Amino acid sequence: MIAIRSPSDFWAGLLFIFFGSLFLYHARGMDFGSALRMGPSFFPIILSGLLVLIGIVTIVRSVIVGGEPITKFALKGMLAITAAGLLFAVLVRGAGTIFAVPALTLISAAASERFHWRTALIMATILTIFCGVVFVYGLGVPMPVIGTWFVE
Amino acid sequence: MDVITDLMLGFGTAITPLNLMYCLAGVFLGTLIGVLPGLGPVATIAMLLPATFGLPPVSALIMLAGIYYGAQYGGSTTAILINLPGESSSLVTALDGYAMARKGRAGVALATAAIGSFFAGTVATLLIALAAPPLAEIALKFGPPEYFSLMVLGLLASVVLAHGPLLKAIGMIVLGLLLGLVGTDPNAAVQRFTLGVPELSDGLNFVAVAMGMFGLGEIIKNLENESDRSALVGKLANMMPTREDWKRIVGPIVRGTVVGSVLGILPGGGAILSSFAAYSLEKKISPRSAEFGKGAIEGVAAPESANNAGAQTSFIPMLTLGIPSNPVMALMIGALIIHGVQPGPSVMSEQPALFWGLIVSMWIGNLFLIILNLPLVGLWARMLMIPYHILFPGIMVFCAVGVFSLNNTPFDLYVMVVFGLLGYILIKLNCELAPMLLGFILGPMMEEYLRRSLTLSRGDPMIFLHRPISAALLVLAAVALCLVLFPWFRRTRAAAFAED
């Protein structure tokens, strides 16, 4: 049984192979061309081949050479930050600043162990007003205050 | 003297009320955001970049440079006051700076950092003015093969001189190069790797990518353990170094400036390596080496001068060759391209006002830094008191609005979120993000130079070895790579980055 002695190398190698293969897969339909006339997939195929190779060597190394373990992931943080960002993207045009900014603030704030409803609500209010005044009116960022879902 | 005339032109450009104001605003905003824990110069610049889009190119670049120095200095403030370096370049400053702060000498440490930075900035600015024109002259003679080889050298040297596992760093470069190719192939007008998403036909937006990896990725990382911090702001009123302090810092400042200026020019060197190298040099030659780590003022003066000198001279390869030596320069190149300026040796001859204006404004920026920071240090200290759980939702809002305002499309926000997650996972896997961003910026350029080289040689890849300059550059790259494989160099490299 082969033991993985460096988990971070092992997973990094796997990630490299994954991305390399992904680019190889999507390059398959394109013209490779020749060295004289490089096609659109010439450089990408060379690079993704290299990336897969580096991935394989990294994995082999991870079995032979020891390395650091992977520390615990901040799952709550990953989830909240992702959700907050995505929700903001969905809401910013349709619902407008007065919904998107509080949603972003509250959900990302919830990632913290010290999350507290009252502070979070105060922050959301301050940030929303700030965004409205500075970004929308001051700098002219085209974020509607109230989105297209509510106002035509 | 040509340099004098050129510098006068620079002064003429930089000292307009408007540009002075942008420079000041840049330094102020850069420090304001850079002082916030967990936000390094890359994230700070990415966050403030959209604010400069509306400005004329000269003003935008002047403001960005100001933001860079501000962010750098802000990071040092954070390192000294709460022992939480925002970026690795202020890591060594934290050792003695924080120790000084604990002894109630935070004010002196901050003043030393500012004075050292100013001296280093002045010297480095002169160095740029002297070194850039001849370098650009040489670079103008470069053909596509030379550029391709130069990029290979630059990318490889950036990981050799950085710390961390080498093979994974090279993997990150390649991944970055590939991601940089997403979008329309300029030659065949074919969509590449866009997965059928129309928004991707212009490629991934590099600000969204940088903000995701260096902004969001960092936030998630910081959420891993939210420890209590306390800012040591006790006696900030007393900032002036004593006569004894002055005697002790002159040498380290001068030596730090030299070390920083030299290392800053090297790809991947920049501010980080400079500060480490200057610190270990001082520790070796100082008669008080036992005091290092316990609040030796030399341990603040040397790395702070070095990182500022390095930050400045890293502009040299960017301005003369159009090649970024660190992620901050990658962002600068991105900003130039957005403003319609193709970075490279021709910038100096075609846009002398922009070039010399920027150089002079670097010096003015450093002047503002010292004028601004000594009186405002109380404000920065107060910024530090904001607990992280209050702070990061605000940072999220700034990142999100900033990225949205790039093209006014939610799509860039999705890119930012995806790269935030990816960035965090890569940090966890001990993969460095900086080489990936360099690759990302250089990807399309490298492909183009490869294509042109191979057309020149009728498809013969040996052209890279037949042309002498190109061959020399590739040999240098190979030597750099081989060096790492030798045990003694590996030990030195590990020692240079060892914290103590």
Write out pLDDT tens, residues B119-144.
998 898 888 888 888 888 888 888 89
B234-262 pLDDT, tens per residue? 556 677 777 878 888 888 888 888 888 88
User: CA nearest B46: which of B27, B64, B73?
Assistant: B64
A63-119 pLDDT, tens per residue? 888 777 888 888 888 999 999 999 999 998 888 888 999 999 999 998 888 888 888
- CB-CB under 8 Å, A38 with B450: yes
- B340 burial class (0-12, 13-18, 19+ CB within 10 angstroms)? exposed
Q: What is the pTM of this model?
A: 0.86
User: CA nearest B253: which of B417, B418, B124?
Assistant: B124
Burial of B396-416, coded b for 16+ CB within 10 Å and e otherwise, reads bbbbbbbbbbbeebbbbbbbb
User: What residues make up the domain containing B346?
Assistant: 2-497
- CB-CB under 8 Å, B174 with A40: no
Residue A33, φ and ψ in degrees, nearest 5: 70, -155
Q: Is-contact A4 A10, C-beta < 8 A?
A: yes
Q: Which of B155, B199, B209, B397 is the best substitution to test chain A (most A C-beta atoms within 10 A)? A: B397
Residue B360 structure tokens: 């002079």
- Degrees (nearest 5) of the Cα angle B125, B126, B132? 85
Per the structure, how many domains does chain B have?
1
| Other CB atoms within 10 A of residue B419 CB | 26
Report yes or no: B175 at the A interface, CB cutoff 8 Å: yes
Residues of B in contact with A9 (CB under 8 A): 165, 168, 430
Residue B402 structure tokens: 């900033």
Alpha-carbon distances, residue A13 vs B209, B214, B217 (angstroms): 22, 22, 20
What stretches of B262-348 adopt beta strand conformation (E)? none
Report yes or no: A8 at the B interface, CB cutoff 8 Å: yes
**Per-residue pLDDT at B62:** 86
- CB-CB under 8 Å, B216 with A68: no
Amino acid code (one letter) for B397: V
Q: Is-contact B249 B282, C-beta < 8 A?
A: no
Report yes or no: B226 at the A interface, CB cutoff 8 Å: yes
Q: Is the dihedral of CA B30, B33, B38, B39 positive or negative?
A: negative
DSSP track, chain A = -PPPS-HHHHHHHHHHHHHHHHHHHHHTTS--B-SSSB-TTHHHHHHHHHHHHHHHHHHHHHHHS--PPPPPP-HHHHHHHHHHHHHHHHHHHHT-HHHHHHHHHHHHHTTSTT--HHHHHHHHHHHHHHIIIIIIIIS-----SS-TTT--
Residues of A in contact with B51 (CB under 8 A): 139
Burial of A46-62, coded b for 16+ CB within 10 Å and e otherwise, reads bbbebbbebbebbbebb
Amino acid code (one letter) for B237: A
**In whole angstroms, what is the distance from residue A67 CA to residue A8 CA?**
7
Supply the DSSP symbol for B324. Answer: -
Which candidate from A92, A111, A131 shows the least CB-CB separation from B223? A111
- CB-CB under 8 Å, A51 with B178: yes
* Mean pLDDT over the full length of chain A: 88
- CB-CB under 8 Å, B220 with A78: yes
ipTM over 0.85: yes
Residues of A in contact with B195 (CB under 8 A): 26
Each residue's pLDDT expressed in tens, for chain B with a length of 500 residues: 577 887 788 787 778 888 888 889 889 988 888 887 767 788 888 888 887 877 888 888 888 888 888 888 888 888 888 776 656 667 778 888 888 887 878 888 888 888 888 899 889 888 888 888 888 888 888 889 998 998 898 888 877 766 667 889 899 999 999 999 998 888 878 888 888 888 888 889 888 998 899 889 888 988 887 665 555 555 566 777 778 788 888 888 888 888 888 888 776 655 667 788 888 888 888 777 777 777 788 888 888 888 888 888 888 888 888 888 778 888 888 888 888 888 888 887 888 888 888 888 888 888 888 888 778 877 877 777 778 888 888 889 888 988 888 888 889 999 999 999 999 999 899 888 888 988 998 888 899 999 999 999 888 888 899 998 899 989 988 888 887 777 666 666 666 555 44
Q: Is-contact B105 B80, C-beta < 8 A?
A: no
Residue of A nearest to B190 (CA): A40
Which H/E stretch holds residue B191?
A: strand B191-192
**Domain residue spans in chain A?**
7-64, 75-138
Residue B191, φ and ψ in degrees, nearest 5: -75, 130
Residues of B in contact with A82 (CB under 8 A): 417, 420-421
Report yes or no: B420 at the A interface, CB cutoff 8 Å: yes
User: CA nearest B311: which of B258, B264, B276?
Assistant: B264
- CB-CB under 8 Å, A51 with B174: yes
Residue A31, φ and ψ in degrees, nearest 5: -70, 125
**In whole angstroms, what is the distance from residue B203 CA to residue B183 CA?**
4
Alpha-carbon distances, residue B108 vs B74, B245, B374, B401 (angstroms): 16, 9, 10, 38
Which H/E stretch holds residue B192?
A: strand B191-192
- Degrees (nearest 5) of the Cα angle B182, B159, B114? 105
Supply the DSSP symbol for B212. Answer: I
**In whole angstroms, what is the distance from residue B423 CA to residue B42 CA?**
14
**Per-residue pLDDT at A104:** 92
**In whole angstroms, what is the distance from residue A51 CA to residue A60 CA?**
14
User: CA nearest B203: which of B178, B181, B219, B188?
Assistant: B181
- CB-CB under 8 Å, A78 with B424: yes
Report yes or no: A86 at the B interface, CB cutoff 8 Å: yes
The contacts found for B331-335 with CB under 8 angstroms, 24 or more apart, are B331/B42, B331/B45, B331/B46, B331/B49, B331/B64, B331/B206, B331/B207, B331/B210, B332/B45, B332/B61, B332/B64, B332/B65, B332/B68, B333/B441, B334/B49, B334/B206, B334/B207, B334/B441, B335/B49, B335/B52, B335/B60, B335/B61, B335/B64
**Per-residue pLDDT at B186:** 81
